[in-house]
Amino acid sequence: MRILKGAEISAEIKKQVQEILASVSGHAPMAAIVRVGEKPDDISYEKGAQKKLAAFGLTSQSYVFPETIPDEEFRREFAKINEDKAVDGILLLRPLPKQIDEKAVERMIRPEKDLDGISPINSAKVFAGEADGFAPCTAEAVIEVLKGAGIAIEGRRAVIVGRSMVVGRPLSMLLLKENATVTICHTRTRDLKAVCKEGDILIAAAGKAGMLTAEYVAEGAVVIDVGINVDADGHLCGDVKWDGLEDVASAATPVPGGVGGVTTAVLAKHLALAALRKQEKGSTAGA
C-alpha cells in the first residue's frame, strides 16, 4: 500500500505559491487569524497555520478575543478586521461560542478575503463550479492530495463519509467538477459498509475516531482520511483504523502527516491568490 504523505504535496503547492508571489508586488500578503477563546484545537491549528504561512513567504497576525465576548462587540471588532486594507485574507477559527451568531459573521466576511470558504457567496460559487470562489481548505486539500499523487479522479466512484459544509458537501462539488461519480454517506445511510465498498476513492470525514475499518474498503481503493481525533491514549488519530488496511487499499493518507498539512498549504495558496486578485483589481480600478 502506498502511503500518501502530505509533505510531498505541500512542497508542490509551495512552488505554486512562489509563482503567484512573483506577480505580487509591494508587500508580503498578510492573513488575519481570528480566534475566540483558548480551545487547544484552535490554538494548535493557529500555530500550524502561522508556521506554514511563514515558510511560504507570507505573513499573519492573530486577533484573539475572550470566550465571553458579546455578539455585538465581536461583530464590531470583526468588521474592523474585515475592512482593514492591510489584511489580504481572513481565517476565522470555528465553531464560535454560542452567544455569537456564527451565520451572521459568515455573511459579513468579504468573499475576496474569505480564505476558508465560509462566505455564502463563496459557497455558491463552489456549488456552481465557478473557479474564482474559495472552497474550504480541507475539502480542496483532498483534491490536491489526489492530483498531487497522480491518482485519477475522472470516471471514478468516490464515496464520502460525512456531510458537513466544512468538508463533505463542498468536497462532493469539487469531485463532481473533476468528473467523479459521488456518493455522500451520513448517520442515516443504510448498510454503510456496503456503500463504502463501492468506492474507488473512499474519503473519511465523519470526525469519529476509527469509525471505518478495512472491512469498509474495496480492493484497490484509495483511502483519504480527513479525520483528526484524539484517542483514549491521547494520540492523534483519524477516522480510519489502519489494522489490515494495507491488505486491501492501494493507497492511504496517514493521520497525522496526511491531509492536515496540505490544508494549511491550501490556506497559503488562497492568501497568495487573494493578494494577487486585490492587486489586479486595484490596477484595473486605476486604469
Q: Give the pLDDT confidence score for residue 139 in this predicted structure.
A: 98
Q: Give the pLDDT confidence score for residue 285 in this predicted structure.
A: 57
At residue 61 the predicted structure's pLDDT band, cuts being 50, 70 and 90, is very high
- 239 in the same domain as 168: yes
User: If you average pLDDT over residues 5-10, what whole number do you get?
Assistant: 96
Which residues have C-beta within 8 Å of that of residue 15, sequence separation ≥ 6? none
Q: Which of these three, 76, 111, 146, is where a domain ends?
A: 111
Q: Give the pLDDT confidence score for residue 283 in this predicted structure.
A: 64
Q: Which helix (H) or strand (E) holds 201?
A: strand 201-204
- 253 in the same domain as 158: yes
- 244 in the same domain as 144: yes
pTM over 0.75: yes
Q: Which residue has the higher pLDDT, 113 or 26?
A: 113
pLDDT digits (tens, 9 = 90+) for 31-58: 999 999 999 989 999 999 999 999 999 9
- 254 in the same domain as 145: yes
Number of folded domains in the chain?
A: 2
Phi–psi pair at 3, nearest 5 degrees? -95, 120
Domain that holds residue 165: 137-261
Give the CATH number, domain containing residue 202. Answer: 3.40.50.720
Tell me, yes or no, whether 103 lies in a domain.
Answer: yes
Mean residue pLDDT across the chain? 95
User: Residue 20 in 3-state DSSP?
Assistant: helix
Tell me, yes or no, whether 267 lies in a domain.
Answer: no
User: If you average pLDDT over residues 5-9, what whole number do you get?
Assistant: 96
Q: Residue with C-alpha cell 463519509?
A: 161
Q: Which three cell numbers stand for residue 259?
A: 491531509
Tell me, yes or no, whether 164 lies in a domain.
Answer: yes
User: If you average pLDDT over residues 186-192, what whole number do you get?
Assistant: 94
Q: Are 176 and 128 in contact (CB under 8 A)?
A: no
Tell me, yes or no, whether 266 lies in a domain.
Answer: no
pLDDT digits (tens, 9 = 90+) for 194-246: 999 999 999 999 999 999 999 999 999 999 999 999 888 888 899 999 999 99
- 156 in the same domain as 246: yes
Tell me, yes or no, whether 14 lies in a domain.
Answer: no
Q: Are 201 and 250 in contact (CB under 8 A)?
A: no
Classify residue 123 as exposed, middle or buried by CB count within 10 Å of its CB (0-12, 13-18, 19+): buried
- 74 in the same domain as 29: yes
Give the CATH number, domain containing residue 63. Answer: 3.40.50.10860
Pairing of strands 59-65, 2-3: unpaired
Cis, peptide link before residue 256, omega less than 30° from 0: yes
Q: Give the pLDDT confidence score for residue 101 in this predicted structure.
A: 98
- 173 in the same domain as 213: yes
At residue 287 the predicted structure's pLDDT band, cuts being 50, 70 and 90, is very low
Tell me, yes or no, whether 116 lies in a domain.
Answer: no
Residue 77 and residue 55: Cα distance in Å, rounded?
29
- 151 in the same domain as 39: no
Nearest Cα neighbor of 151 from 61, 253, 19 is: 253
Tell me, yes or no, whether 283 lies in a domain.
Answer: no
Angle (CA) 9-208-104 rounded to 5° is 80
Q: Give the pLDDT confidence score for residue 281 in this predicted structure.
A: 86
Tell me, yes or no, whether 10 lies in a domain.
Answer: no
- 32 in the same domain as 103: yes
